[in-house]
């Protein structure tokens, strides 16, 4: 059992390539559903299963409490019952619109999902590519959620992952060292999401976890 | 917040149905007209002889700028009116500066390095805004550190992150919400010169909340780039559509026979498509049609993306002359326009593309052009 709060910030480490995670100081271990299908890594910390192709059979097969990230307006009907049954957290993802976010929260609650199991992902563009839309939606939700029971949930941001896809993160033809620049871009995206009010930020570089945790 | 015309009106004689209602002494035909003009600050408060103290106080407070603006040459620092960009907009992008120590032997080279640095964001070249000289006087080209300290900025030497963060939030809140004069000076954070990654994370936060200027003791281009990207986002006016310039954009060195895609000039549409084109294993062109920064369907219904505009754009950029390709791939959402476009631009054939940018790669793989 673990709890995700609307206060403070947690850092989820996006686990790929079977890294050694024993010495990492992450709060949540994020893992793609494709890797998770072959078994979950051995950790006492919260595990978040990520991907758009999570199905209810997979959710039913989980033998521990997880965070299911994510469920959308397209597949919530199939997935929410299995998520309720397993007692999992769920990330409800909607495309950069406060009303759509609210609507999906209501639909999920009406299916019987417990309010304290909901995390919102209101989506965000990468740094330099429409990042501000997602940024402002998070700021608005933080402002409004005390007065709106259907927005009163923790926020998760994948801004660092989105920003790592940008040309500025990947290109070798931009001034400076691409390897360093990529990490800086991830940190800036994470820090901006933190400033906007995200309660969970997903990060890919293990070193960035330590840097971000050094801020809190 | 500024007072609205109606908020002002309720203090005037006409609203209270008092003597001197609509007396015209202010030069306006009615009290309502005066109130509306005053709300826009197009008339002086004292033109009306019947202003009550409460209105005077509220009005003067409401038009007072919460934060001063300080100028260094063309740079404007401060002048912000809101705590959240979605309330209106932020105005003057956080100034990013580097302190160069003239006591060090390589300082001239450092200055050159900083001046030469720049990247393109939304087709605009941006770089470091300010070079500040340490251990030197003001010169014609650069400002000195002591010069910076004499501008009336609220200089904050960064201590630990939590303290600096709370201080910045506190200062901005008192300036905006309480309009407290003691907090109206723009803030300038001088970063503690430690690990660049940590500086990057901290400075990013300060840029969002709420430093007006950030000075670094050392120049690290890899750190400045994401800060410039973040700044571009945070200081974009949410009241305006973000747009890119119309034109012919090239991806992966196209030649005369490469694919031509076409879309509108809404920045997010452009980003989504250009990201895909960049990652294709074939070279391509993207013809961006100027359409008031509207996304594809909006532009179509608002008639900013019409066969006529497309025709003009093709002519303006001399596509027929410079490129041999005669097939243009248009957004899938506009598939109904293919024939009409061909009638207007008989030199070209228009092909229905994908509805989503993310399907472009698949589309190119399975289509024979």
Residue B195, min C-alpha distance to chain A (Å):
9
Residue B22, min C-alpha distance to chain A (Å):
42
For A:57-86, CB contacts with B below 8 A are: none
Q: Which residue of A has its CA nearest to B127?
A: A175
Which strand ranges, in their side-by-side order, compose the sheet holding B349-352?
A: B247-251, B284-289, B259-264, B327-330, B349-352
Cβ contact, residue pair A129, B275, below 8 Å = yes
- C-alpha to C-alpha distance for A204 and A206, rounded to whole angstroms: 6
Q: Which residue of B has its CA nearest to A180?
A: B222
In Å, what is the CA distance from A40 to each residue of A56, A63, A167, A202, B256? 17, 9, 33, 18, 52
Look at residue B342 in the predicted model and tell me its pLDDT: 95
Neighbour tally for A9: CB within 10 Å: 21
Nearest to B202 among A129, A189, A215 (CB): A215
Highest-pLDDT range among B80-84, B117-121, B141-145: B80-84
Are residues B35 and B5 in contact, defined by beta-carbon separation less than 8 angstroms?
yes
pLDDT tens digit sequence for B175-223? 999 889 999 999 999 999 999 999 999 999 999 999 999 999 999 999 9
3-state secondary structure of B261: strand
Q: Which residue of A has its CA nearest to B227?
A: A188
Interface test with chain A among B86, B165, B204, B276, by most A beta carbons within 10 Å? B204
Q: For B183, which DSSP code?
A: G
Look at residue B81 in the predicted model and tell me its pLDDT: 93
For A:135-164, CB contacts with B below 8 A are: 135-136, 139-140, 143, 163
Tell me if chain A has a CB within 8 Å of the CB of B344: no
Can you name the residues that pair with A13 across neighbouring β-strands? A29, A203
- Once rounded to an integer, what is the mean pLDDT over residues B117-135? 90
Structure tokens at B300: 């179509």
Tell me if chain A has a CB within 8 Å of the CB of B280: no
Cβ contact, residue pair B201, A175, below 8 Å = no
pLDDT tens digit sequence for B271-315? 889 888 988 999 999 999 999 988 898 899 889 999 999 999 999
Q: Is the pLDDT confidence value at B123 over 80?
A: no
Cβ contact, residue pair B201, A130, below 8 Å = no
- Once rounded to an integer, what is the mean pLDDT over residues B253-258? 94
Q: What is the 3-state secondary structure (H, E, C) of A106-160?
A: HHHHHCCCCHHHEEEECCCCCCCCCHHHHHHHHHHHHHHHHHCCCCCCCEEECHH
Whether the predicted model's global pTM rises above the 0.90 cut: no
Tell me if chain A has a CB within 8 Å of the CB of B195: yes
Nearest to A177 among B209, B222, B238 (CB): B222
- C-alpha to C-alpha distance for B95 and B128, rounded to whole angstroms: 8
Residues of B in contact with A130 (CB under 8 A): 233, 242, 267-268, 271
Residue B182, min C-alpha distance to chain A (Å):
25
Nearest to A128 among B195, B204, B229 (CB): B229
From first to last of its 216 residues, chain A has per-residue pLDDT tens of 688 888 899 999 999 877 788 888 999 999 999 999 988 988 889 999 999 889 999 999 999 999 999 999 999 999 999 999 999 999 999 999 999 999 999 999 999 999 999 999 999 999 988 899 999 999 999 999 999 999 999 999 999 999 999 889 988 888 999 999 999 999 999 999 999 999 999 999 999 999 999 998
Neighbour tally for B238: CB within 10 Å: 16
- C-alpha to C-alpha distance for A59 and A20, rounded to whole angstroms: 25
Look at residue B368 in the predicted model and tell me its pLDDT: 80
Tell me if chain B has a CB within 8 Å of the CB of A214: yes
Structure tokens at A184: 């800086």
B210 prior amide bond cis, ω within 30: yes
Cβ contact, residue pair A127, B222, below 8 Å = no
Look at residue A77 in the predicted model and tell me its pLDDT: 96
Q: Which residue of B has its CA nearest to A135?
A: B234
- C-alpha to C-alpha distance for A200 and A185, rounded to whole angstroms: 18
Look at residue B1 in the predicted model and tell me its pLDDT: 67
Sort residue A27 into left (φ over 0), alpha (ψ -120 to 50) or beta: alpha
Q: Which residue of B has its CA nearest to A179?
A: B222
Look at residue B195 in the predicted model and tell me its pLDDT: 96
pLDDT tens digit sequence for B15-60? 988 889 999 999 999 999 999 999 988 899 999 999 999 999 999 8
Inter-chain CB pairs, A–B, below 8 Å:
128
Look at residue A21 in the predicted model and tell me its pLDDT: 83
Tell me if chain A has a CB within 8 Å of the CB of B197: yes
Residues of B in contact with A211 (CB under 8 A): 195, 197-198, 201
Can you name the residues that pair with A90 across neighbouring β-strands? A68, A118
Nearest to A175 among B117, B226, B278 (CB): B117
ipTM over 0.90: yes
- C-alpha to C-alpha distance for A53 and A58, rounded to whole angstroms: 10
Structure tokens at B356: 């989503």
Structure tokens at B369: 């052009």
């Amino acid at each position: 059992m673990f709890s995700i709060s609307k206060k403070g910030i947690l850092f989820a480490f996006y686990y790929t390539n079977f890294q050694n995670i024993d010495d990492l100081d992450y709060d949540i271990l994020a893992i793609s559903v494709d890797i998770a299908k072959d078994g979950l890594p051995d950790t006492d910390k919260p595990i978040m299963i990520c991907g758009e192709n999570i199905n209810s059979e997979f959710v039913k097969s989980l033998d521990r409490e997880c965070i299911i990230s994510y469920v959308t307006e397209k597949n919530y009907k199939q997935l929410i019952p299995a998520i309720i049954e397993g007692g999992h957290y769920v990330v409800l993802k909607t495309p950069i619109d406060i009303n759509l976010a609210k609507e999906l929260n209501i639909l999920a609650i009406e299916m019987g999902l417990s309010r304290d199991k909901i995390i919102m992902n209101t989506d965000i563009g990468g740094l330099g590519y429409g990042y501000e839309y997602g940024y402002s939606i998070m700021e608005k939700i933080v402002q409004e959620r005390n007065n709106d029971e259907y927005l009163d949930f923790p926020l998760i941001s994948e801004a660092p992952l989105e920003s790592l896809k940008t040309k500025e993160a990947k290109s070798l033809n931009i001034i400076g060292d691409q390897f360093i620049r990529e990490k800086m871009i991830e940190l800036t995206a994470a820090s901006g999401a933190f400033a906007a009010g995200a309660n969970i930020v997903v990060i890919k570089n293990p070193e960035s976890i330590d840097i971000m945790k050094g801020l809190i | 917040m500024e007072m609205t015309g109606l908020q002002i009106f309720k203090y005037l004689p006409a609203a209270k149905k008092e003597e001197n209602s609509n007396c015209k002494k202010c030069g306006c035909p009615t009290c309502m007209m005066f109130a509306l003009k005053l709300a826009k600050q197009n008339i002086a408060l004292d033109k009306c002889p019947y202003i009550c103290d409460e209105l005077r106080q509220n009005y003067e407070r409401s038009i007072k700028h919460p934060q001063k603006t300080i100028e260094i040459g063309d740079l404007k620092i401060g002048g912000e009116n809101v705590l959240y960009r979605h309330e209106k907009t932020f105005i003057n992008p956080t100034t990013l500066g580097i302190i160069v120590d003239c006591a060090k032997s390589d300082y001239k080279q450092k200055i050159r390095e900083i001046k030469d640095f720049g990247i393109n964001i939304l087709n605009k070249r941006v770089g470091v805004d300010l070079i500040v000289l340490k251990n030197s006087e003001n010169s014609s080209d650069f400002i000195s550190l002591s010069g910076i300290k004499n501008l009336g900025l609220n200089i904050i030497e960064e201590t630990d992150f939590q303290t600096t963060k709370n201080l910045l939030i506190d200062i901005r809140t008192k300036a905006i919400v309480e309009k407290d004069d003691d907090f109206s000076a723009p803030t300038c954070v001088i970063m503690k010169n430690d690990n660049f990654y940590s500086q990057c994370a901290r400075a990013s936060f300060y840029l969002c909340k709420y430093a007006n200027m950030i000075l670094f003791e050392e120049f690290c281009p890899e750190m400045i780039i994401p800060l410039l990207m973040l700044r571009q986002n945070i200081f974009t006016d949410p009241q305006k559509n973000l747009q890119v310039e119309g034109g012919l954009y090239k991806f992966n060195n196209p030649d005369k026979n490469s694919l031509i895609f076409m879309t509108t000039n809404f920045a997010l549409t452009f980003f989504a498509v250009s990201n895909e084109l960049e990652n294709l294993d074939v070279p391509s062109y993207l013809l961006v049609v100027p359409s008031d920064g509207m996304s594809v369907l909006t532009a179509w219904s608002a008639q900013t993306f019409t066969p006529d505009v497309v025709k003009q754009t093709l002519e303006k950029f001399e596509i027929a002359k410079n490129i041999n390709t005669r097939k243009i791939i248009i957004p899938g959402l506009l598939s109904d326009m293919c024939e009409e476009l061909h009638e207007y631009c008989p030199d070209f054939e228009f092909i229905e593309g994908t509805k989503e940018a993310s399907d472009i790669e698949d589309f190119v793989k399975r289509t024979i052009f």
